[in-house]
Structure 1
Amino acid sequence: MPGQHVEPETRTILPVPDRPAIGFTAYDAKDPDYSAPPITRLRPPVGAPNVIIALLDDVGFGASSAFGGPVQMPTAERLAGEGLRYSRFHTAALCAPTRAALLSGRNHHSVGMGNITEMATGAPGYNGVRSNAKATLPEILRLNGYATAQFGKCHEVPPWETSAVGPFDRWPTHSGFEHFYGFVAGETHQYYPALYHGTTPVEPAKTPEEGYHLTEDLADHAINWIRQSSALQADRPFFMYWAPGATHAPHHAPKEWADKYRGQFDQGWDAMREQTITRQRELGVISAETELTGRPVEIPSWDETDEQLKPLLRRQMEVYAGFLEHTDHHFGRVIDAVDELGLLENTLVLYIIGDNGASAEGTLRGSFNEGINFNGMGHLETDEFLMEHIDDLGTPAAYNHYAVGWAHAMSTPYQWTKQVASHFGGTRNGTIAHWPQGITDAGEIRNQFTHVIDVAATVLDIANLPEPVQVHGVTQSPMEGRSFAATFGDADAQEHRQTQYFEMFGNRGIYHRGWTAVTKHRTPWELVGAQTVAFDDDLWELYDTATDWSQANDLSQDYPEKLHELQRLWLIEATKFNVLPLDDRGTERMDALVAGRPQLITGNTQILFPGMGHLTENTMVNVKNRSHSVTAEVVLPDVPASGVLLSQGGYLGGWSFYADGGHLKYAYNFLGLSMSIIASETPLPAGKHQLRAEFVYDGGGMARGGVLTLYVDGAPVGSGRIEATQPIVYSADETSDVGRSLGTPVSTEPGAAASFNGSIDWVRIDLGDDDHSHLIPVEDAVRSALGRQ
């Protein structure tokens, strides 16, 4: 019958080759001897399940109540009660590497993601570019007939490919997902996110005042897609990847969710670790003999913490807990929608509670605006400043992160946190598998050593799909992960992963048949100016993790030969999977020229046109730490001019060139801590004019100030001093926009938030000294743009 499912002859070559039928062709379709074969639709093998992978961000092993943590996650507990808890599941210690490994079934260095994309280098293991010989799981599933969609975070696109002009080869919709709704970055504002639908920038449907929050929005879109897929193609299984920005900083939680935890963390992080490990032993997610590892000397104890600061620290954790439970609640809505459609019975749900350990990137006291720490200026957030903003934590006014002590507690019982790939505190994440049709041992725990690279092979296994040998004409490199589907029905199934290396920022480790050898090289919260030793001078530790789950007892002095054996094995694996050369550089790798990666924008001039927006810092010429000018050719209205000409950044750091109340203005927002506004002395005249803001940098180092002068048609109309500037980054997610300000405005003045009420021909940015004529011939501006294409 038309539309029926016919199993293809082979699925190892994708797309499945078309095989036209050969036979009798009639002149007249009514010929009784003629019969055309029916049109068939490609579908997975009969019985292939739906698949939902939920990957949370920056959640340590000891956070979720499903794994003994203090944060209530009823959805996780429900799925675990009806499915399996995996107590020894591992990630790559950082977000983009884990995600690249998950979606490809290969180690993160094997797909060029040895670190985040913004720190890509020319080295094969760190270039941020996945080879076309390593097709993704969603692409394999799509080419086998699955419906595919991603909602949430995509942090695998190289920064030089994140603009509106692409190329889009590594965006979700060109990497196997037919539908994408989310953000392309490491983090985003939960109330003012920079969103894309496919590759098209879109704005949220509501404002924060109307109740908008990104996590709820992502759940809504996921539910709508599942319902539509079920209604229109019920015979087609789906693969959905739900990856919210939660609980990565900023920790944005609706107040009512944070307030649920009032007073629950008054005991502090040390006592919380003791309470958590007790619950973990009772649940059985760690062995009964597991010891609580010591607190690193770099992290202060709760008792020695300033009493006056403790109310702030408690509120940080309350907000984080509310954020995590809020996320679990909305994922529960997605699960309920699948259940209501009668699809949950044959849907594999993998709930991976964290893409690495809890984040220790918030400094020892936490932060109201983590961008301050990104710029190496954490000292500016004084205790007094932080306490003054305690009630703003979690709200749209803040961009907050909790203190390192909480991150360590959220990784209980293990040592260290996110970024520290050497120890399980950075790589061990509680994971739940739920599949009523395929898992009969409801509520049990699985202790086999498992890694995120094993997910792709497991999904193909249960869908009865082969790993392809060729995709789009390219011979494929074999997946490095192995299926753990055998554990679904057998608690004693053989451990499929005998060896696994780990590396991040020079923090290194290896697991081999129950033993681990590890060395910590770099401290996570030292984001700027970190001091490290030579790799050969790192001290290695040895643990028998078959019995010592938490890596509490270092045996390196007792078994030096075993340590040397594992060190050699680490080097072998590192060579095999492109880990070398080791690279512990931090801020240096943020400079594309130093790192050796392409830059979208080069030279000293950039021209922008009306309608351009959603431009990230990677798609803009870098004006930081140097003299520069911004010039706009405009037609001013007869009414007082108002609105943005060009802005960069937002309310917690950035600059805006705009008109307000008929006057030309320039606002510089220094990290949300101070505001400098320079205004023209006289109103702007109607008609066609050239408006210019010229900044003369003091020099002598980074983050210096300078003098900003405003010009109209080459004549100065106002001047003022900016005392300090941001040296490294304006924002992780705010954008630059011509003629408007998307996201949050740099200044609270009406004109800095409004769309420009005149017309803009072009806006041009020039770096360094110019001829000081303060006018740019229009033909020169256009020639500049065309000459750089």
Structure 2
Amino acid sequence: MTTNDRASRTVLPIPDQRYAGAFTYDATDADTTFPAVPRVTAPDGAANVLVILLDDVGFGASRAFGGPVNMPTAERLAAGGLKYTRFHTTALCSPTRAAMLSGRNHHTVGMGSITETATNAPGYNSVRPNTCAPVAEVLRLNGFSTAQFGKCHEVPAWETSGVGPFDHWPSPGNGFEYFYGFTAGETNQYYPAIRQGTSPVEQAKLPEEGYHFMEDMTDQAINWIKQQKALAPDRPFFTYFAPGATHMPHHVPKEWADKYKGQFDDGWEALRERTIARQKELGVVPQDADLTAPSEGIPNWDDQPEDLKKVLRRQMENYAGFLEFADFHTGRLIDSLDELGILEDTLVYYIIGDNGASAEGGEVGSFNGVAGTNGGADLMTTEYMLEHLGEWGGVESYPHYSIAWAHGLNAPYQWTKQVASHWGGTRNGTIVHWPNGFESKGELRHQFTHVIDLAPTIFEAAKVPAPVLVHGVTQEPLHGYSMTYSFDEGDAPETHTTQYFEMFTNRGIYHNGWSAVTKHHTPWDTQMGQHGGSFADDRWELYDGSTDWTQAHDLAKEQPEKLEELKKIFMIQAARFNVYPLDDRTAERLVPGLAHRPTLVKGKELVLFEGMSGLTENVMLDLKAKSFSITAQVQVAEAGGRGVLLSQGGRTGGWALFLDADGHLVYTYSFVGVIEYTARSAEPVVAGEHQLRIEFAYDGGGFGKGGLASLYIDGEPVGEGRVERTHITLYSFDETTDVGRDTGSPVVSAYGARDNGFKGRIEWIKVVQGDDDHSHLVPSHITLEALMAQQ
């Protein structure tokens, strides 16, 4: 009997069993026998598991669920599996992922919001407690191979640097043996900030050579699975495939966007009407379902100027191409499983969106999605966007679409991403495919389900129990319910009968077919938290799901007793799962000290050394809205020096201190990737040891102001230049600070994305903040808007 035969698997790691048999004196003695070396292997018949989670896709986007976007892979899997029409997320990226990967509600695992707005409240600290071991760790300890590819936005902001700790990274902390992806809310698809494990990785080729992260991560996933099955064919795998698509930036090759030319010329209202008609044909909504009224604040298509309509149409064509492009590469992954002969024995979840479509692009969308939150909205004029229409989705862009397209893609439901009170924020089309696990094919399932239901379903497919003890820590019971009961019984009564929702104090409760909801804030209301009012004054709505599939008819006035019943259930669930205290603050949550969350870098000085790279803005000194100095101690080679000394940011904006091709000391500031301001030394830096310095004197008087950049070589002034406009919030969510080079997309046009490293030696670089900090004058809603737009 092996160790595994004796193991209950409820205690992990499975305890090693000491050999209790007889020992001999001489290994050559005929009586010398020992059992085989014990190995932890998965239970016999355990299925492979593949979870595919797309980003920011509305329920009404995919053609599989009645939308306008062709997704052949989704339809292929649906034809051989099941479509779940009432599958729900949390309305936001990080919380959905944390809930799904743990099998517990998002507040219970500390992810009530995104990591950048964490507080010290248990439901909002962004730290998964060790009482909630993630699914990957449970499967790894049960003999599965585990890997994650793509997006991870669950690492606490202060733990995202190369010094860790790595307890909450995919690998090693979250149970994935291999990780290839990015640890941010978004990434530049042409210049992604890739991590392999915990180390930065340089992309294999440039975008002009055909690089796109969606293709890259798919190649990596295919290769990993092939290696697993080549070397350990009997060992099942758990693969989590989480593209950055279709989150902003909507980066896609032009030919994919062109496939949708003319398909959205009649606007978003017409799109919603067509979508619900197709949804009724497919049966993903009932024949008597009503299209909800436009959400408050959504503009009318006919009121848009004709020139702006040209931009708006291209935004949607580009987005549709991006979604189909993501589905195409997902199809390559599915094809690889088929070619290996393992698709039929792989439980595949294809979750089309971690929340509803994103309403973070503003009323008219943007060619550069970070411009608006940095005071650069005036640059994103209709004329500017028209001028760059041919570049939309390309390497020079960082685009997002209008809030109205987001609303249209959530048809037939109300509201969008961030709004957990209504189905537009939380209902996502989901497909389950597992030929060897169930016989039903091409059918619909209408039972209420939620992302926390994946964990118990996966454990059933893996034939392992939910553990009670992991690494010596007693575990919180799973909060979800296995979906296997519905696989071959379409009419089976749903088992997940009660579920709360909360995001940014938008709240809801589902119970036995009814839903009670209240919306406290609107995603495109940039004054969030400024005038939210008392929670007690929030108006609750009531919907009967048995007669009103889409939450179109509010029954609060007709059935106040029922509403009060559901509100009480919400309060009980909220208290049980760490939702309280409700928190709609802004300024306090944006400042680590006020929010009582840790920071990595403390004080006003930071010394950096050659080779340090991949430092996100969360782990760097913030130089915005203040004076500062940067001093580099360097050795310039006899052949002359050129290359980057220190850079921060990328295509969407930032700055770099470097020696140009002629050896001149240069400081360039890129304002939202549109305007460059430069200070340059009059003479080149000669060979030898030098101190090179830039001092920036901030004008003050508010945020986003300009300043004077002065350059020094060995203490002597050598040049200066004005910077008229500066960033308010973030240069980028994923672009980094790098010593001795500029990784990712280049900050400035003076050097390229490759071969920009400093041709000399850097001893150290010292960054010092000035005392004239004006960041307190930044309206808190602007910073919050920036964070929400990039998660």
Which TM-score band (shorter chain)? Answer: over 0.9
Query: Residue in 1 aligned with 2:729?
Result: 728
1:185-225 CA-to-partner distances (Å, cap 9, x unmatched) read 11000000000111111011111011011011111011111
Q: Spell out the pairing of 1:768-779 with structure 2 (5 A cutoff).
A: 768-769=770-771
Instruction: Identify which range, 373-382 or 287-296, moves more after superposition.
Output: 373-382
Equivalent residue number for residue 141 of structure 1: 139
Give, in whole Å, the separation in 2 of the partners of 1:530 and 1:98.
Answer: 23
**Cross-structure match for 2:634:** 634
What is the aligned partner in structure 2 of residue 62 from structure 1?
A: 60
- Indicate the residue corresponding to 1:611 in structure 2: 611
How much does 1:641 deviate? Answer: 2.6
Distance 2:233 2:559 in 1: 58
Equivalence map 1:280-429=2 (5 Å): 280-375=279-374, 377-429=376-428
The normalised TM-score by structure 1 is 0.95
CA contact (8 A) 2:743 2:753 kept: no
State the shift of 1:441 in Å: 1.2
Contact kept, 8 Å, 2:248 with 2:400, in 1: the verdict is yes
Q: CA deviation at 1:587?
A: 5.8
Name the structure 2 match of 1:783.
none
Specify the SS of the correspondent of 1:680: strand
In the TM superposition, residue 479 of structure 1 has moved relative to its aligned partner by 1.1
Question: How many angstroms does 1:57 deviate by?
Answer: 0.2
CA-to-partner distance for each residue in 1:153-208, whole Å, 9 max, x for gaps?
A: 11110011010111111111121101111111110000000001111110111110
Report the residue type matching 2:763 in the other structure: D
Q: Which secondary structure does the structure 1 equivalent of 2:766 belong to?
A: strand
Distance in 1 separating the partners of 2:327 and 2:648:
34
Structure 1 stretch 175-184 or stretch 563-572: which is displaced more? 563-572
Report what 1:126 is aligned to: 124
Counterpart position of 1:777: none
Please say if 1:670 is aligned against 2:668: no
1:22 aligns with 2:24: no
- Aligned to 2:697, what secondary structure does the other structure show? strand
TM-score by length of 2: 0.95
Residue 782 of structure 1 corresponds to which residue in structure 2? none
| Contact map agreement 1:665 1:678 (CA 8 A) in 2 | yes
**Aligned-partner Cα distance in 1 for 2:647–2:297:** 40
CA contact (8 A) 1:692 1:710 kept: yes
What's the secondary structure of 1:171's corresponding residue?
Answer: coil
CA offset at residue 751 of structure 1?
8.1
Q: Conserved in 2, the CA contact under 8 Å of 1:191 and 1:214?
A: yes
> Is 1:115–1:126's contact at 8 Å kept on the other side of the alignment?
yes
Runs of 5+ consecutive residues of structure 1 not aligned to the other structure: 771-789
- Structure 1 position 77 matched with structure 2 position 101: no
Q: How does 1:225-624 map to 2 (within 5 A)?
A: 225-375=224-374, 377-527=376-526, 531-534=530-533, 535-586=535-586, 588-624=588-624
Gaps (5+ residues) in structure 2?
A: 773-791
Percent identical among aligned pairs is 59
Residues 681/631 of structure 1: CA separation in 2 closer, same or farther (3 Å cut): same
CA offset digits 1:400-459 (Å, max 9, x no partner): 001111100110100000000000000000000000011211011111100001100111
CA drift at 1:651: 2.4
* Aligned counterpart, 1:740: 741
Structure 1 residue 527, shift from structure 2 partner = 4.6
| CA–CA separation in structure 2 for the residues paired with 1:588 and 1:313 | 36
- The amino acid that maps onto 2:377 is G
Q: How has the CA–CA distance of structure 1 residues 751 and 495 changed in structure 2, closer, same or farther, with 3 Å as cutoff?
A: closer
C-alpha contact (below 8 Å) 2:645/2:758 kept by paired residues: yes
C-alpha contact 1:373 1:527 (8 A) present in aligned 2: no
**Which of 378-387 and 595-604 deviates more?**
378-387
Native 8 Å contact 2:64 2:71 kept in 1:
yes
Partner deviation per Cα, 1:464-489 (whole Å, 9 max, x = no partner) = 21110100011111111111111111
State whether residues 626 and 771 of structure 2, in contact with CA within 8 Å, keep that contact through their aligned partners in structure 1: no
What CA deviation, in whole Å up to 9, does each residue of 1:90-110 have, x standing for no partner? 001000000000000000000
Q: More deviation in 630-639 or 227-236?
A: 630-639
Please give the alpha-carbon distance, in whole angstroms, between the structure 2 residues aligned to 1:701 and 1:24: 80
Cα deviation for residue 390 of structure 1 reads 1.2
User: Using the alignment, how far apart are the partners of 2:373 and 2:155 within structure 1?
Assistant: 21
Q: Distance in 2 between matches of 1:376 and 1:430?
A: 36
Shift of 1:375: 2.7
- Is 1:680–2:681 an aligned residue pair? yes
Match of 1:51 in 2: 49
Question: How many angstroms apart in 2 are the aligned matches of 1:474 and 1:394?
Answer: 47
How far off is 1:241 after superposition? 0.4
CA distance in 1, matches of 2:742, 2:572: 51
Q: Give 3-state SS (helix, strand or coil) of 1:173's partner.
A: coil
Q: CA deviation at 1:752?
A: 9.0
Cα deviation 1:122-161 (Å, max 9, x = unaligned): 1110101000110000000010111111111111100110
The amino acid that maps onto 1:744 is S
Tell me how far apart the structure 2 counterparts of residues 63 and 323 of structure 1 sit (CA, whole Å).
12
Q: 1: distance between equivalents of 2:587 and 2:741?
A: 31
For residues 734 and 462 of structure 2, the distance between their equivalents in structure 1, rounded to whole angstroms, comes to: 37
Q: Secondary structure at the match of 1:526?
A: coil
Report the 3-state secondary structure (helix = DSSP H, G, I; strand = E; otherwise coil) of the residue aligned with 1:721: strand
Describe the superposition over 1:605-640 as per-residue Cα deviations: whole angstroms up to 9, x where unpaired. 001000000110011101111111111011122334
Cα 1:473–1:455 shift into 2, 3 Å: same
Report if the CA contact (8 A) 1:643-1:751 is conserved.
no
Correspondence for 2:787: none
User: Is the Cα–Cα contact under 8 Å of residues 316 and 401 in structure 2 kept in the other structure?
Assistant: yes
Q: Distance in 2 between matches of 1:752 and 1:710?
A: 24
Report the equivalent of 2:783: none
462-471 vs 133-142, which moves further: 462-471
Q: What residue is the counterpart of 1:691 in the other structure? A: 692
The superposition leaves residues 343-386 of structure 1 with CA deviations (integer Å, 9 ceiling, x where unpaired) of 11111000000000000000010011111123354344222122
AA paired with 1:222?
A: A
Task: Measure the CA separation in 1 of the matches of 2:363 and 2:587.
Answer: 20
Deviation string, structure 1 residues 662-713 (Cα, Å, up to 9, x no partner): 2111101111221100111222222111111001111111111111111111
Distance in 1, matches of 2:361 and 2:60, equals 18
What is the total number of aligned residue pairs between the two structures?
Answer: 768
Tell me if structure 2 keeps the 8 A contact 1:521–1:532.
Answer: no
Provide the alpha-carbon RMSD of the alignment. 1.5
Aligned to 1:780: none
Structure 1 pair 467–566 and aligned structure 2 pair: CA distance change class (3 A): same
Q: What SS is found at the alignment partner of 2:432?
A: strand
Partner Cα distance (1:108, 1:377) in 2: 34
